[in-house]
């Protein structure tokens, strides 16, 4: 990452359309953008496309960034919104089933606490896109139900249902792994 003075200089350069400054910003933030986009994408190719689209948005909309706010927070929001936009395109023509009741499971299984981060990411990426987006926005980004509903364009009931189903599927996958490990498979 860049120190504060370097970041300010790079932002000024990006606002002026300086390709060198854009390259510096890209190199400094690419790995982090990749991690963010992988959490919201079904596979690596889609994540890469989201990273590229996200950087395009950063470079073309950098004049909207306010210097009194954290650049990192603004950047992260652009990347997440890019992934969410991609998700919306994929679900545009699909029927959305609304559920008004869902169980809000708050118990974290022991295996989840001890699981490897890369393995957990791989499991989250196996979830259906609606579950994956909902889980990431809630568990990783810390959004509230109503905020997720607004972002994804669904009801709060759907958010709760999708989150409950995502947790259930993740728990099931983790318990399957635990069983396989116990029997040496």
Q: Which CATH number belongs to the domain containing residue 150 in this structure?
A: 1.10.10.10
Q: Is residue 79 part of a domain?
A: yes
Of 30 and 115, which is predicted with more confidence?
Answer: 30
Contact 158, 99 (CB under 8 A): yes
Q: Would you place residue 101 in the very low, low, confident or very high pLDDT band (cuts 50, 70, 90)?
A: very low
Which residues form the domain of 169? 110-182
Q: Would you place residue 31 in the very low, low, confident or very high pLDDT band (cuts 50, 70, 90)?
A: very high
Q: Is 50 exceeded by the pLDDT of residue 40? A: yes
Are 86 and 148 members of one domain?
no
Task: Provide the number of structural domains found in the chain.
Answer: 2
Q: Is residue 9 part of a domain?
A: yes
Q: Is residue 105 part of a domain?
A: no
Alpha-carbon span 124 to 137, nearest angstrom: 12
Are 36 and 73 members of one domain?
yes
Q: Which CATH number belongs to the domain containing residue 82 in this structure?
A: 1.10.1740.10
Q: Is 90 exceeded by the pLDDT of residue 175? A: no
Q: Is 134 exposed, middle or buried (0-12, 13-18, 19+ CB in 10 A)?
A: buried
Alpha-carbon span 84 to 89, nearest angstrom: 9
Q: Is 60 exceeded by the pLDDT of residue 95? A: no
Are 16 and 85 members of one domain?
yes
Predicted local confidence at residue 107, as pLDDT = 41
Last residue of a domain, one of 58, 91, 124: 91
Q: Is 60 exceeded by the pLDDT of residue 99? A: no
Dihedral (CA of 12, 16, 17, 19) sign? negative
Are 17 and 74 members of one domain?
yes
Q: What is the pLDDT of residues 110-166, one digit of tens each?
A: 544 555 667 777 888 888 888 988 998 998 888 899 989 888 888 999 999 999 999
Dihedral (CA of 181, 164, 87, 40) sign? negative
Contact 25, 75 (CB under 8 A): no
Percent of the chain clearing pLDDT 90 (strictly above): 45
Q: Would you place residue 94 in the very low, low, confident or very high pLDDT band (cuts 50, 70, 90)?
A: very low
Burial profile 82-92: b = 16 or more Cβ within 10 angstroms, e = fewer:
bbbebbeeeee
Contact 132, 124 (CB under 8 A): yes
């Amino acid at each position: 990452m860049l120190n504060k003075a370097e970041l300010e200089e790079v932002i000024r350069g990006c606002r002026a359309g300086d390709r060198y400054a854009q390259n510096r910003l890209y190199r400094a933030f690419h790995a982090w953008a990749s991690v963010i986009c992988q959490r919201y994408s079904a596979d690596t190719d889609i994540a890469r496309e989201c990273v590229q689209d996200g950087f395009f948005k950063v470079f073309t909309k950098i004049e909207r960034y306010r210097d009194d706010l954290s650049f990192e927070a603004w950047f992260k929001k652009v990347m997440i919104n890019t992934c969410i936009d991609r998700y919306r395109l994929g679900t545009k023509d699909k029927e959305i089933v609304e559920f008004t009741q869902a169980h809000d499971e708050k118990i974290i299984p022991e295996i989840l606490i001890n699981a490897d981060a890369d393995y957990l990411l791989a499991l989250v990426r196996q979830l259906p896109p609606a579950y994956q987006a909902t889980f990431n926005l809630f568990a990783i980004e810390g959004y509230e139900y109503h905020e997720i509903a607004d972002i994804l364009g669904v009801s709060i009931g759907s958010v709760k249902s999708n989150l409950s189903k995502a947790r259930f599927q993740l728990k099931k996958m983790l318990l399957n792994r635990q069983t396989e490990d116990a029997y040496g498979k």
